[in-house]
Amino acid sequence: MQAWSYALSSAHYAPATAPILLRGDVCLNLKTAAALGYQGLELHTREDVQLDYDTIIGTSADCGVSVAAVVTGWLNTQGGVSLVDDRPYISHAAIEGMRNYIKMAARLKTNVIIGWIKGLIPEGTDPQPYLERLAGNLTMICTEAREQGVKIFVEVINRYETNIFTTVREAMDFLGSWEIPNCYIHLDTFHMNIGESNPVEAIRSCGERLGYFHVADNTRLYPGSGIIDFRSYFSALKEIGYKGFVSVECLPYPDGETAARRALEYLKQCEPEIRTEG
Ligand code: LER
Ligand code: MN
């Protein structure tokens, strides 16, 4: 039996340089994901998007593909707000946006990813007040999400894109010392390849706190195109009993569907040694 389910990234619109595989309508993408052999579709979207929930939920049930997670980065990159911003009216707008994403996820029976919406600590400043602000805001968001049955996944992102949680150790220490409830670690093999001296140990160190897992190869093309040793990563996932999604978030080359097809074919080849009994 397979320990985890596979998902792939999607958005209504995204530039070709974004690690998004399927573009366009959510229901069409759910059907395409099913035809490609996936069990989950990850939604990169704005917090105020109008979704036809009944149709999405019906299509999802019909084709056997669930929404794997709602991704919040665009609230930062397009909306211009962040959870650590010094201006209260900006960080409050980020929290309000997160509340919308949580409602969206609750209706879709899925979870929420926090990546860039954390924001950046300004260069040359004392990080402590920003980390304290982040801890307070995350505690509030994660507590409210738990009341709606939604988990929050905090992504570890490479140091060229962010300066908060660039390694697993940093994220684990933060979550542990602030005792943030309902908050799980989200790893991405592309980012780990930059930030982790030993990615396999990094996966192991998350233990039960690992909630979500993005896969791309070292150049951010599809898994199997480069040099990342997915077999050893999968063994580590199995060791810690990971049961979430393994979600392909890679560049759409040579095109999204081909990349998705090649990724899944390769990832399944990495599986046999990790198959569980039954
Ligand atoms: C988002 O999941 C991510 O990995 C960031 O690098 C934004 O693309
Ligand atoms: Mn990612």
What is the DSSP annotation of 203-260? HHHHGGGEEEEEE--TTSS-TTSSS--HHHHHHHHHHTT--SEEEE-----S-HHHHH
Q: In whole angstroms, give the CA distance from residue 204 to residue 239.
A: 7
257 is catalytic: no
Does the CB atom of residue 256 touch ligand 1 within 6 A? no
CATH superfamily of 6-273: Divalent-metal-dependent TIM barrel enzymes (3.20.20.150)
Query: CB under 8 Å to 31, separation ≥6 — which residues?
Result: 59, 63, 65
> Residue 118: phi, psi to the nearest 5?
-55, -45
Pocket test for ligand 1, best of 161, 165, 166 (most atoms within 8 A of CB): 161
pLDDT at residue number 262 = 98
Q: What's the one-letter identity of residue 170?
A: E
> Residue 210: phi, psi to the nearest 5?
-80, 125
pLDDT at residue number 274 = 47
Does the CB atom of residue 195 touch ligand 1 within 6 A? no
Does the CB atom of residue 73 touch ligand 1 within 6 A? yes
| 65 three-class SS | coil
| C-alpha 136 – ligand 2 centre gap (Å) | 24
pLDDT at residue number 272 = 56
C-alpha closest to that of 151 among 191, 114, 188: 114
Does the CB atom of residue 159 touch ligand 1 within 6 A? no
Atom of ligand 1 minimally distant from the CA of 19: 8
DSSP state of 197: S
Q: What's the one-letter identity of residue 11?
A: A
Catalytic pick among 42, 47, 196, 249: 249
C-alpha closest to that of 98 among 136, 138, 127: 138
Q: What is the mean pLDDT of the chain?
A: 96
Q: Give 5's strand partners.
A: 245
| C-alpha 277 – ligand 1 centre gap (Å) | 34
Block residue for tokens 């036809």: 52
Atom of ligand 1 minimally distant from the CA of 161: 6
Q: In whole angstroms, give the CA distance from residue 276 to residue 278.
A: 7
pLDDT at residue number 278 = 44
155 is catalytic: yes
Q: Is 7 exposed, middle or buried (0-12, 13-18, 19+ CB in 10 A)?
A: buried
Ligand number nearest to the C-alpha of 117:
1
Pocket test for ligand 1, best of 155, 193, 245 (most atoms within 8 A of CB): 155
CA angle 47, 52, 57 (to 5 degrees): 105
Residue ranges in the chain whose pLDDT is less than 50: 274-276, 278
